[in-house]
């Protein structure tokens, strides 16, 4: 209700609450080198303090042509500029035999709030992909593009072309607010516009203000001594403790996976699909570390409700509380989800309200149906037409004897008068097509064999890049998931389940970039051709899964799932989703939040 009174931090039940939660810190984070060392802050905090607001020695490192790499410290700083240093791991053994340096290159990720680009921007991004990168565009699980294979000597050329398209890579990675995702449902034109506008406003407002990006990559003019005089108004010298991710969702679709992120806004709609305000969620996140139970994925809590005019201020308040309260000593426990676990939701909300200058209202009712995309043509409530194309793992490339995604979307961009939207499920929407243009777009889709859908399991799948470029990958993901789905589709067909939508996601490591812990079937790389199998998440992305079978071989995945598919086919109730069934039937335990993720794991009964 709007007359909600400010809350006090509770101490009930009894003394349990006060002993469970820590006392929050006061003041801003340490940003002086000596004080940071004395306090035992993590190495990354020292890098940020000494960086001159994200400059480091990057400019000098680009001039060192003897290696395709940069220094370790600059490798951390360059993330704030939207890049990761990588190498082709497929080539490591051969290059090591020849005593050659690793095949270094950079992954570059763009900041595209809400995933919306114009046809003209698409053509520039296509040109960059075929000129400087590995010939492909990759739509990510965070509604933006990234390039792979850009060598050091081409970095500045690439960044200048990105800038010329009125785009950038600032804060696409690093300890900052990263690319803001927004709902893409084309049928809800007004609500989508409100979601996009909020996402764009948040992205622009919470953008780092340092001029380092323009100085280093665009040869921008540097004011001598300017870095000493400059003050980053929101972030300060040390920015955030870890990455921070914000999404804006519009029910009934949760395709942005609002519960998997640090901060979320859920649109509350009236009967005419107009946004009356936003429910605010905090404390979600996917990453964990194998074998370390003090790390875990977490679904976000619904903290309250705010009016549209307060949403931007709420976003800044939530992020600055995390800036000041987040763990700067242990990076693996530095995300907002751990801050909520340490200090409690009530204390966190009270501090947000203090900085906001007013109380949040209580959350309003809402309902999500799923977290997958709607494929094919859709007409919006404004009369415009939208085509959602299925792009396997977001890899926009020309497939030999298959879909010509790169060429086909280039041809569409040359004639399209609307815009393109990326989805959080790695797909592409050709959006805002007029009725008169629809036939022309359809002809280009058919001519290049672009896919307007796929089998039920495949169209509900996403995968991270993993090998060969990601340095964190323990196992395959993007390259392996298609063949696994081939196997599982056969199994589902044998049980009459071909058209049942079941979400499946795969990652090469437990960092969880493809959000596997909220998929009904989640596979997380454990080692070469070995995975943890997680089951039992909710179809709408609101509940975590549970570890069902640890460290199984890739060849064993179908065998582990087939009897569960058979049981589901026999005993499911009308409208019951796979994840819900597995819990009801007693195959796997329901996961609560936080540390409960690691409790009561494994198969609860034999699958026959």
* 470 among annotated binding-site residues: yes
Bridge partners (DSSP) of residue 182 are: 248
Nearest to 167 by CA among 192, 212, 203: 203
Distance from C-alpha of 273 to C-alpha of 329, rounded to nearest angstrom = 45
Q: Which two tokens stand for residue 319?
A: 């992020």
**Which residues are identified as catalytic?**
109, 178, 243, 245, 464, 470, 509, 513
Q: Which two tokens stand for residue 386?
A: 């939208």
DSSP 26: -
* 464 among annotated binding-site residues: yes
Phi first, then psi, for residue 175 (nearest 5°) are -85, 65
Distance from C-alpha of 16 to C-alpha of 27, rounded to nearest angstrom = 27
Specify burial of residue 572 (Cβ count, 10 A radius: 0-12, 13-18, 19+): middle
Contact (CB, 8 A) for 41 and 59: no
Phi first, then psi, for residue 588 (nearest 5°) are -150, 150
Q: Give 89-151 as a DSSP string.
A: GGGHHHHHHTTPPP-EEEEEE-B-GGGEE-HHHHHHHHHHHHHTSSS-EEE-TTSSEEEEEE-
Contact (CB, 8 A) for 425 and 459: no
* 173 among annotated binding-site residues: no
Task: Using alpha carbons only, give the angle 55, 57, 61 rounded to the nearest 5 degrees.
Answer: 125
* 306 among annotated binding-site residues: no
Sign of torsion over alpha carbons 476, 126, 174, 373:
negative
Enumerate residues 6+ apart whose C-beta is below 8 A from 304: 4, 279, 280, 349, 360, 361, 362, 363
Q: What is the dihedral of CA 465, 501, 196, 516, to 10 degrees?
A: -40
Distance from C-alpha of 267 to C-alpha of 359, rounded to nearest angstrom = 19
Phi first, then psi, for residue 385 (nearest 5°) are -110, 145
Pairing of strands 83-87, 104-109: antiparallel
Q: Which two tokens stand for residue 469?
A: 């470029």
In the block, tokens 């001029």 appear at 211
Phi first, then psi, for residue 369 (nearest 5°) are -105, -35
Task: Report the run of H or E that residue 402 belongs to, with start and end.
Answer: none
Nearest to 146 by CA among 194, 110, 113, 106: 110
Enumerate residues 6+ apart whose C-beta is below 8 A from 577: 501, 502, 520, 538, 539
* Secondary structure of 475-503 in HEC code, one letter for each residue: CCCCCCHHHHHHHHHHHHHHCCCCCCCCC
CB atoms within 10 A of CB 552: 18
**Cα distances (Å, whole numbers) of residue 138 to 181, 301, 324, 605:** 16, 31, 34, 41
Q: Which two tokens stand for residue 573?
A: 């109730």
Rg (CA), the chain: 24
Binding residues for [4Fe-4S] cluster: 464, 470, 509, 513
Binding residues for siroheme: 513
Binding residues: 464, 470, 509, 513
């Amino acid at each position: 209700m709007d007359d909600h009174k400010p809350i006090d931090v509770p101490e009930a039940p009894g003394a349990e609450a006060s002993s469970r939660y820590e006392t929050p810190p006061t003041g801003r984070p340490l940003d002086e080198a000596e004080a940071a060392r004395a306090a035992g802050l993590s190495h990354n905090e020292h890098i940020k303090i000494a960086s001159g607001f994200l400059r480091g020695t990057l400019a000098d490192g680009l001039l060192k042509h003897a290696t395709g790499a940069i220094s370790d410290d600059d490798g951390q700083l360059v993330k704030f500029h939207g890049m990761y240093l990588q190498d082709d791991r497929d080539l490591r053994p051969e290059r090591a035999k020849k005593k050659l340096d690793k095949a270094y290159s950079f992954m570059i990720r763009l900041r595209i709030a809400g995933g919306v680009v114009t046809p003209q921007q698409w053509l520039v991004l296509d040109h960059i992909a075929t000129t400087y990168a590995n010939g492909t565009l990759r739509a990510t699980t965070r509604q933006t593009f990234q390039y792979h294979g850009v060598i050091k000597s081409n970095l500045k050329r690439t960044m200048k072309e990105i800038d010329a398209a009125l785009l950038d890579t600032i804060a696409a990675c690093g300890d900052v607010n990263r690319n803001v995702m927004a709902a893409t449902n084309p049928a809800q034109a007004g609500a989508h516009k409100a979601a996009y506008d909020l996402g764009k406003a948040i992205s622009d407002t919470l953008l780092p203000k340092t001029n380092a990006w323009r100085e280093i990559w665009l040869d921008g003019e540097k004011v001598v001594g300017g870095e000493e005089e400059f003050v980053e108004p929101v972030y300060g010298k040390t920015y955030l403790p870890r990455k921070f991710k914000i999404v804006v969702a519009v029910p009934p679709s949760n395709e942005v996976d609002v519960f998997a992120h640090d901060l979320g806004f859920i649109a509350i709609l009236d009967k005419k699909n107009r946004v009356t305000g936003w429910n605010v969620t905090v404390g979600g996140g996917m990453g964990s570390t194998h074998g370390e139970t003090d790390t875990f994925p977490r679904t976000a809590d619904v903290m309250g409700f705010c009016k549209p005019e307060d949403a931007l201020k709420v976003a800044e308040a939530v992020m600055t509380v995390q800036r000041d309260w987040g763990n700067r000593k242990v990076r693996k426990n530095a995300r907002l989800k751990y801050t909520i676990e340490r200090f409690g939701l009530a204390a966190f909300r009270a501090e947000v309200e203090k900085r906001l200058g007013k109380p949040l209202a209580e959350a309003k009712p809402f309902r999500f149906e799923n977290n997958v995309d709607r494929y094919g043509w859709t007409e919006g409530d404004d009369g415009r037409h939208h085509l959602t194309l299925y792009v396997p793992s977001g890899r926009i490339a020309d497939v030999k004897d298959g879909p010509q995604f790169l060429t086909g979307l280039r041809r569409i961009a040359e004639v399209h008068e609307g815009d393109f939207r990326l989805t959080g499920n790695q797909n592409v929407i050709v959006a805002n097509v007029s009725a008169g243009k629809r036939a022309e777009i359809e002809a280009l889709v058919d001519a290049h064999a672009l896919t307007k859908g796929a089998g039920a399991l495949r169209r509900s799948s996403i995968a991270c890049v993993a090998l060969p470029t990601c340095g964190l990958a323990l196992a395959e993901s993007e390259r392996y998931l298609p063949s696994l789905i081939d196997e599982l589709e056969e199994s589902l067909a044998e049980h009459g389940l071909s058209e049942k939508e079941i979400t499946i996601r795969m990652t090469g490591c437990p960092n969880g970039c493809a959000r596997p812990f909220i998929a009904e079937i989640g596979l997380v790389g454990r080692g070469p051709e070995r995975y943890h199998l997680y089951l039992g998440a909710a179809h709408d992305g609101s509940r975590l899964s549970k570890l069902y079978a640890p460290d199984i071989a890739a060849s064993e995945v179908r065998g582990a799932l087939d009897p569960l598919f058979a049981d589901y086919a026999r005993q499911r109730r009308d409208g019951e989703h796979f994840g819900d069934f597995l819990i009801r039937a007693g195959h796997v335990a329901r996961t609560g939040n936080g540390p409960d993720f690691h409790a009561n794991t494994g198969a609860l009964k034999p699958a026959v």
